[in-house]
């Protein structure tokens, strides 16, 4: 979709890493600045982190919602989206979490109950390596997905 340059890449894994990093940086920056340009028409659009009201057990509890009043396109993270899931955006936006993912290719991600950190609502995610038992806990600000703490 032209969101991330893949120039010079010839194999899947480096391209996938570049796309995940690029999209994560773009979305987290848009959430922080509260300024986003529609992926389809390029005009100003709304981007926000939303909580699910009622979801099936396998559905994410939080997602990114994009809404463009100009072209009418709406989208959210999920199976039909060009946006990564909220947990993937958090992991790929932080270099330390990204390194954990790259060192542990067989991980599962889980969401912990929402907490308050530094006076703001925060989401807590945990990565668990299926092979070795290593874990990484990431706390991110709910509105912007900016990482506040890694443990």
**What is the per-residue pLDDT across 54-111, written as a single tens digit (0 to 9) for each?**
555 555 678 888 888 888 877 666 545 666 788 988 999 999 999 999 899 899 999 8
| pLDDT recorded at residue 76 | 65
| pLDDT recorded at residue 59 | 58
Give the C-alpha separation, 113 to 126, whole Å: 11
Give the C-alpha separation, 82 to 124, whole Å: 23
Give the C-alpha separation, 84 to 144, whole Å: 15
| pLDDT recorded at residue 127 | 93
Q: Could you state, in order of their start, the residue ranges of all structural domains in the chain?
A: 35-53+61-83, 101-151
Which residue did the predictor score with more confidence, 29 or 135? 135
Share of the chain above pLDDT 70, in %: 87
The pLDDT of residue 135 is above 90: yes
């Amino acid at each position: 979709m032209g969101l991330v340059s893949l120039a010079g890449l010839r194999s899947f894994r480096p391209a996938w890493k570049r796309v995940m990093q690029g999209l994560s940086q773009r979305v987290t920056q848009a959430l922080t600045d509260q300024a986003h340009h529609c992926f389809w028409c390029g005009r100003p659009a709304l981007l926000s982190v939303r909580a699910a009201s009622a979801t099936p057990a396998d559905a994410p509890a939080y997602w990114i919602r994009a809404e463009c009043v100009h072209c009418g396109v709406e989208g959210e993270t999920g199976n039909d989206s060009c946006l990564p899931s909220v947990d993937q955006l958090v992991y790929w936006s932080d270099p330390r979490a990204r390194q954990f993912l790259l060192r542990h290719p067989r991980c599962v991600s889980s969401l912990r109950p929402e907490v308050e950190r530094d006076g703001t609502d925060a989401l807590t995610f945990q990565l668990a390596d299926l092979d070795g038992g290593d874990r990484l806990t990431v706390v991110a600000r709910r509105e912007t997905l900016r990482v506040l703490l890694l443990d």
